[in-house]
Amino acid sequence: MTSAPLAARLSIPSGPLFFPVTAYGADGGVDLDVYREHVRRGVEAGAAAVFACCGTGEFHALSPEEFEACVAAAVEAADGRVPVVAGAGYGPALAVRFARLAEAAGADGLLAMPPYLVVAGQEGLLRHYQELTAATSLPVIVYQRDNAVFTPETVVELARTEGIIGFKDGLGDLDLIQRIVSAVRSEVPGEEFLYFNGLPTAELTGLAYRGVGITLYSSAVFCFAPEVALAFHKALNTGDDEAVNRLIDGFYRPFVDLRAQGRGYAVSLVKAGVRLRGLDVGEVRPPLHEPNEDHVKQLAQLIERGYGLIEEGV
């Protein structure tokens, strides 16, 4: 666990936020040695934080025991250089269990994912996240997506809740996120509340979210092409929109088009990319499936194209 407050460390966009894949061995079990290496490489490449066992890390497929071991391995590999945030989700009892396991494993914070299956009203969602936050001493980032969609008024109450430090948007409704940012700014003045672009391949919408004032984002591409992700991050945060657009046109848009060719490719295509770069992190667990051979070949070509762009001086 790092010593500085998580919100302060995350508020400085020193690099992309790294969401490592979870490594599995030939027997299908978690391979902690390969996972540590994956995390270590990401930290040394320039990640600003490690988000362990979240969406890209197949949180849904991990047992509590595997989850705790992976979070502890990520903490060990990060070695205090950057904060480690762990996923937590499902219904109240399991979400609290995962949160406490993450705390015991040394995590610096939690990414609170949507509750399982049910579509709840605002009152119930607010209570769920407030009770989860109260269950540990870890600061919490609430993740909006799927069946957890919030009104601006609810996010204001989340921002007022001690221990909730941020809001990650995986919905992509810019009208809603602008109203949320405005409401929190007006109703909770002076509160240091963080916002994250959490859409799959967030770089594609980076310019739009920057317009709303949101510069923090999760980068799945960083898992397999960290230099490309770092070049984009630098361009976005220095206002080099020409370089941003060249990377979008030459790499990110084609990657998103490829990702759209299969369900679950937001995870399995990323994992294939890590393997293409020489680290055998295994395949995804069901119900996700592997990309087909042609799509993997296209991914390899895209990675080569992305590195070609940065060699040209993007």
- What residues act catalytically? 143, 168
**3 state DSSP class of 136:** coil
Distances (CA, A) of 280 to 32, 74, 293: 12, 17, 17
Q: Cis peptide leading into 287, omega within 30 of 0?
A: yes
Q: SS3 breakdown of the chain: % helix, strand, coil, rounded to 5?
A: 50, 10, 35
Own/partner pairs, 258-262, CB within 8 angstroms, 24+ separation: 258/295, 258/298, 258/299, 258/302, 259/200, 259/201, 261/291, 261/295, 262/289, 262/291, 262/292, 262/295
Length of the chain: 314
CA-to-CA distance for 20 and 43, rounded, in angstroms? Answer: 10
Q: Supply the DSSP symbol for 284.
A: P
CA-to-CA distance for 27 and 34, rounded, in angstroms? Answer: 14
> For the packed helices 122-134 and 92-104, what is the interaxial angle rounded to 10 degrees?
30
Residues pairing with 49 in the sheet: 17
What are the start-end ranges of the E strands in 201-276? 216-219
CA-to-CA distance for 81 and 192, rounded, in angstroms? Answer: 23
Cβ(109)–Cβ(98) below 8 Å = no
